[in-house]
Structure 1
Amino acid sequence: MTSFLILALLILVAGIVAVPLASRFGLGSVLGYLLAGMAISPLFATLGVDVEALQLFAEFGVVMMLFIVGLELEPKRLWDMRGKLLGLGGGQVLLTTLAITGIALLNSNPWQTALAIGMVLALSSTAIIVQTLTEKKLLRSEGGEASFSVLLVQDVAVIPMLALLPLLAMPELSGAAAGHGEGGAHGGLDLTADMPVWLAALTRIGAVAAVIGIGVYAIRPLFRYIAAANLRELFTAAALAVVIGISVLMTLVGLSPALGAFVAGVVLATSEYRHELESDINPFKGLLLGLFFITVGAGIDFALASEIWREVVFWAAVIIAAKFLVLLGVGWLYGLRKQALWLFCLSLPQAGEFAFVLIAFAVANAVFDAALADLLLLIVALTMLVTPLLFIFYDKVIARSFNRAGEREADHIDEENPVIIAGAGRVGGVVNRMLQAAGHGTTVIDYSSRQLELGRKFGFRTYFGDATRPDLLHAAGIDRAKLLIVALDEREQIDKLVKYAVSHFPDLHVIARAIDRNHVYELWSYGCRDIIRETYDSTLRIGRSAYEALGMDRQQAEAAKSAFEEMDRSAMREVAELYDMDVPFDENQPLIDKVKELRAKWDPILRDQMDDILKRGQ
């Protein structure tokens, strides 16, 4: 018991220390976990930890991750992706297998071994890619969806690979393989192992159909029954039981449990329990994924790596380059361009977690010898370690260059209006409609091509371009405009535009969107005097509804809300005068003292006003 607690404490502390540091330096959580695993691997060896067994347990985090991804993909949307699944996914797996097989043949490997190497290294890391794309909010982008489509096909491709590997066995390796146990895709019981091929196929199809049937007909009544008990922990237990049960079913018929969990998630994507399931599973998914990445880092054989590091680095570079070129060709033929193509190519060139399973299976079936297996394990681990660095390259170089240059040239602005709106999203779009309805001419600028095309479909004229660029603002007539409305999404962009407009056009009225209260103070320090917090009005409305729910009538609730709003705005102006950009907000003692002083002064007055409102209504 004590050794288990020490191990758990060691893993948790490593993650807690490494991940925030990695995130602070822009390295991402995945690389943080990998580095944490590498750092504590000597302690694992001292404690006698079976890293491989720990990794098999941690792989359940991948299963949970795909279940949650499935919850966010409705069946219709998955059907719309069928072209990507067949074209991109199938093309990538086939061409990458052939390319790496060819490289292995050139290295004088027997054709059986070469083909097995090609299959093992054709797969990519679902855990790293989906986790990173989700963190960076790129999973729903064009390049992110293309990458996810390939990962789904790869997950399915594991099944024929497992069936084909035993056929590649070489007699001269059979003695060495005798000591290795065989197993299914995940080392467990496979009921279809001794079945004829046609019967095994029917059994697997039946299992997938059973998952769909359970999702449609059984899970909703189960959760209604659980919800009636009104105990949150039972709902969490039921959610885990569903995912684990589906995983067991998939494993018993030789299928990937991650694939089964994904199918179940898609089936439940339209369920009324979707969000509850997601919130219950998410914490377990995050912890297990972190544990999985730590075990990958800890599983590196540093003694062997120090002896053959040149060979490992060379072949890892060759594999990444070969997969990158195949991805570039497949992505280009499919129609991916520019930023989406770069994201697609930089996401998938590593080997994946299924490689560990396939390598062990190949050794057990006399396809690899132990020395080649050890080399491949190091190559797989190194390519996985490099992947977060490729995403950093995408963020720092590729994405920034496209954001600077734009996906296309900025539109030529051929009109001048008294109002310029920067941003055509959920804030700027509504403001634009309101002003046009009142007869005011507006010039709307936004750098989101998708948002602009959507607006144009509904008859709203918008211009593509970066609204923070001075030349574009001058083309829009900012020096003669009466009003500039800054409705951009990104805080840095808002700050940049407000500072430029306020300093260069003192007579221009600037209305700026603020992300939060702290942002209000910052914009005030730039000289902007008309600042709207994006959630402020909706928050006041929620407060008004709370007053009504607690017994006030609509008129009293509106008066109470107005009293609070007037006092809050007055206090905001006084506090804003003390804001100092060079001092952290929570360390600005004069500002903190002013807030305390105003609360002591205004809270009793506000309470008296509330009492008067209630008395007048009686």
Structure 2
Amino acid sequence: MAVEAADSNLIQVVALLAAGVVAVPIFKRIGLGSILGYLTAGLVIGPFGLRVFSESGAILHVAELGVVMFLFIIGLEMQPSRLWGLRREIFGLGALQVGVCGLLLGTLGWLGGFTVAQSVISGAGFVLTSTAIVMQLLEERGDIATPKGQRIVSILLLEDLAIVPLLALVAFLAPGGVETTVSERLAEIGIGIGAIVGLVLAGRYLLNPFFRILADAQAREVMTAAALLVVLGSALTMQLSGLSMAMGAFLAGVLLSESTFRHQLEADIEPFRGILLGLFFLAVGMTLDLQVVWDNWQLIAIYVVAYMVIKAFGIYLVARLLHTSHREALERAVIMAQGGEFAFVLYASAAAVGIIDSRGNAMLTAIIILSMLLTPLAIAVLRRLTPSDDRQSMEGVDVADGLTGSVLIIGFGRFGQIASQPLLLRGVDVSIIDNDVEMIQAAADFGFKVYYGDGTRLDILHAAGADQARAVLICVDKPDVAVRIAELLKAEFPFLTVMARAYDRGTALQLIHAGIDYQIRETFESALVFGGSTLEALGVDPDTVADVIEDVRRRDAARLEMQISGNIHDGRNFLKGNIATPVPAPVTQPRRPGQALNEETAGMLGKQAPATD
């Protein structure tokens, strides 16, 4: 009997893996995306398909860990300063969208003949967008770090927070239970807030020392176990406090985003995240009750379309009111038009207190799942009807894979093109990657072979040959991207020679702290040549000009060294003369009355250099 049970479990595991392996490539090949492939595969092997599984709910609870780990990875990319910069989007844009869409969807239910309580709860559940689906779509398209992607992430964060007051609203609307449950719900809200504060304090003061102790033990498997412990422990803490597990994992990621162990944690969690997230979508597909859909197909079809259209309209309206472009507003409306996994929790809670019956719960759950199924199709239709004007054809562009150059150049704009020329003239084997398709195609016209690749992704760096290269040149023009690539390279390949283009002095300091071997501010040398040529035009002897320029270099290096060591903390005071450098001032000609001190003159006279450049 035990052998038969073991065989049955093994059959289910094989069925899960086979369903995903077969369905996802097919659906991606026909342009419908991996999410719809997982959902359809789950429907096929679930209780209402081939019946390989009879209890899909149990699988769904396990599979929710995929969403949890996915949110942890996203949190690792969201430094607290970056998250603070999104506060207006989270509590402004997010709250406005939730409010407008909730009002529209609730009104729709009321006009359909439902009670006020049923209309409010059903509409509120559909307002909660699927975090797993939207984040997966953004990741596949590479839009998470873009401004429009960050706005969507902000809205999702607000919706995750909204589950707490919505559960309190369920208790308030429960028949005959207002007086006895409102105070309890308020207490639960207080517990939730306390849990968030406790998690923040633990993350700030305990996590880094904890991982440092484990790192000293030099046991990689223990670090992996600790990463899983942090993710799942944070998720459990939030769940026990009445909040979502995903919110706990996200907070844990944010708190570790500035840790020196960030990249190792990401590498440890990534394999579990991918498998469990796919399992989540499979389980969602299994939970679709086809019998309920068949018995009420007309009503369900009407409400699926009506809810998705009304919600999309509300999202588009809010976006346009806040001066978002038509294209971005339309894209956001289609991507976020479905209901989310947190609606299952809200509807189950409403059914438990008698606001809706079991049949209504099953119907609403079916509506949510069908909206999830329709989202990839709606996006495919949007792409057909509105050809992208910001994404070029990939014709003639090869993706970085299996490159083996001695030098890897990341970014082939103005700076990278010039930096590559001495190497190419000397016959150095150079590999070049960039993520600007138009630039790659233009470079090909001039005989340059540039591969498509995002240098901020570890898998792309491996595919581009960073693990085999003798040196990597970071030539991208965005300061934050350059620093991120530098941190990733030095964390993964600590002995690799890394040289970087710095936008300004502040970026240079960040790159130096990241451990790179060489950096240069993109305008520094050209500005020195420019100034030297000006002196020569004014009649100064070329040898004297060379001495002056060399002295400027020396003094700039000394000031930079002082800033690195922490003796100069803020360069903004340099014109005020608050902090003087101990480097002796060179002999200069007397200044004419009324002659202004420019930046470099002030620097040569012993004032502090500005942090900007």
Q: Does 1:367 align with 2:355?
A: yes
Matches within 5 A, 1:435-446: none
What is the alpha-carbon root mean square deviation over aligned residues?
3.2
Q: Secondary structure at the match of 1:162?
A: helix
If the length of structure 1 is used for normalisation, what is the TM-score? 0.65
Q: Secondary structure at the match of 1:6?
A: helix
User: CA shift at 1:152, angstroms?
Assistant: 0.5
Q: Residue 426 of structure 1: which of 411, 428, 437 is its match?
A: 411
Q: Residue 451 of structure 2: which of 511, 515, 523 is its match?
A: 515
Match of 1:541 in 2: 470
Tell me if structure 2 keeps the 8 A contact 1:166–1:367: no
Cα distance change on mapping 1:204 and 1:492 into 2, 3 Å: closer
User: CA shift at 1:323, angstroms?
Assistant: 0.6
Q: Where does the alignment leave 5 or more consecutive residues of structure 2 unmatched? A: 1-5, 394-409, 423-431, 453-462, 473-494, 496-613
Q: Residue 26 of structure 1: which of 31, 34, 51 is its match?
A: 31
Matches within 5 A, 1:105-254: 105-170=110-175, 196=184, 199-254=187-242
User: CA shift at 1:492, angstroms?
Assistant: 7.2
CA distance in 2, matches of 1:27, 1:266: 32
Q: Does 1:314 align with 2:302?
A: yes
CA distance in 1, matches of 2:190, 2:435: 52
Tell me if structure 2 keeps the 8 A contact 1:297–1:381: yes
User: CA shift at 1:262, angstroms?
Assistant: 1.0
User: CA shift at 1:199, angstroms?
Assistant: 4.4
Cα distance change on mapping 1:343 and 1:141 into 2, 3 Å: farther
Match of 1:239, as an amino acid?
A
User: CA shift at 1:307, angstroms?
Assistant: 3.0
Tell me if structure 2 keeps the 8 A contact 1:144–1:343: no
If the length of structure 2 is used for normalisation, what is the TM-score? 0.65
Q: Secondary structure at the match of 2:92?
A: helix
Q: Secondary structure at the match of 2:38?
A: helix
Q: Secondary structure at the match of 2:257?
A: helix
User: CA shift at 1:212, angstroms?
Assistant: 1.1
Match of 1:97 in 2: 102
Match of 2:413, as an amino acid?
G
Q: Residue 331 of structure 1: which of 319, 324, 349 is its match?
A: 319
Match of 1:55 in 2: 60
CA distance in 1, matches of 2:145, 2:469: 32
Paired residues in the alignment total 433
Cα distance change on mapping 1:200 and 1:305 into 2, 3 Å: closer
Q: Secondary structure at the match of 2:447?
A: strand
Match of 2:130, as an amino acid?
S
User: CA shift at 1:32, angstroms?
Assistant: 1.1
Which one is further off, 72-81 or 257-266?
A: 257-266
Cα distance change on mapping 1:270 and 1:367 into 2, 3 Å: same
CA distance in 1, matches of 2:282, 2:467: 42
Match of 1:515, as an amino acid?
Y
Tell me if structure 2 keeps the 8 A contact 1:112–1:367: yes
Cα distance change on mapping 1:120 and 1:535 into 2, 3 Å: closer
Match of 1:61, as an amino acid?
G
CA distance in 2, matches of 1:251, 1:159: 11
Match of 1:96, as an amino acid?
C
CA distance in 2, matches of 1:282, 1:229: 22
Tell me if structure 2 keeps the 8 A contact 1:144–1:344: no
Tell me if structure 2 keeps the 8 A contact 1:491–1:515: no
CA distance in 2, matches of 1:229, 1:537: 28
CA distance in 2, matches of 1:371, 1:515: 55
Cα distance change on mapping 1:262 and 1:319 into 2, 3 Å: same
Cα distance change on mapping 1:211 and 1:339 into 2, 3 Å: same
Match of 1:334, as an amino acid?
L
CA distance in 1, matches of 2:117, 2:326: 38
Q: Does 1:392 align with 2:373?
A: no
Match of 1:321, as an amino acid?
V
Match of 1:301 in 2: 289
CA distance in 1, matches of 2:276, 2:381: 27
User: CA shift at 1:343, angstroms?
Assistant: 2.4
Q: Secondary structure at the match of 1:362?
A: helix
Cα distance change on mapping 1:375 and 1:498 into 2, 3 Å: same
CA distance in 1, matches of 2:127, 2:48: 33
CA distance in 1, matches of 2:264, 2:213: 14
**Percent identical residues:** 35
Q: Residue 265 of structure 1: which of 247, 253, 261 is its match?
A: 253
Cα distance change on mapping 1:34 and 1:537 into 2, 3 Å: closer
Tell me if structure 2 keeps the 8 A contact 1:71–1:265: yes
Match of 2:341 in 1: 353
CA distance in 2, matches of 1:491, 1:201: 47
User: CA shift at 1:116, angstroms?
Assistant: 1.1
CA distance in 2, matches of 1:123, 1:231: 41
User: CA shift at 1:124, angstroms?
Assistant: 0.6
CA distance in 2, matches of 1:363, 1:354: 14
Tell me if structure 1 keeps the 8 A contact 2:97–2:318: yes
CA distance in 1, matches of 2:275, 2:62: 12
Cα deviations by residue, 1:124-158 (Å, 9 ceiling, x for unpaired) = 10000001111110112232111111111110000
Tell me if structure 1 keeps the 8 A contact 2:171–2:185: no
User: CA shift at 1:194, angstroms?
Assistant: 9.5
Tell me if structure 1 keeps the 8 A contact 2:40–2:285: yes
Cα deviations by residue, 1:399-418 (Å, 9 ceiling, x for unpaired) = 5245479xxxxxxxxxxxxx
Cα distance change on mapping 1:511 and 1:356 into 2, 3 Å: same
Cα deviations by residue, 1:68-117 (Å, 9 ceiling, x for unpaired) = 11110001111110111112110111111111111111111111111111
Tell me if structure 2 keeps the 8 A contact 1:339–1:399: no
CA distance in 1, matches of 2:91, 2:51: 47
Tell me if structure 1 keeps the 8 A contact 2:75–2:250: yes
Specify which structure has the bigger relative contact order, considering alpha-carbon pairs within 8 angstroms and separated by 6 or more residues.
1
Match of 2:195, as an amino acid?
A
Cα distance change on mapping 1:536 and 1:213 into 2, 3 Å: closer
Cα distance change on mapping 1:158 and 1:428 into 2, 3 Å: same
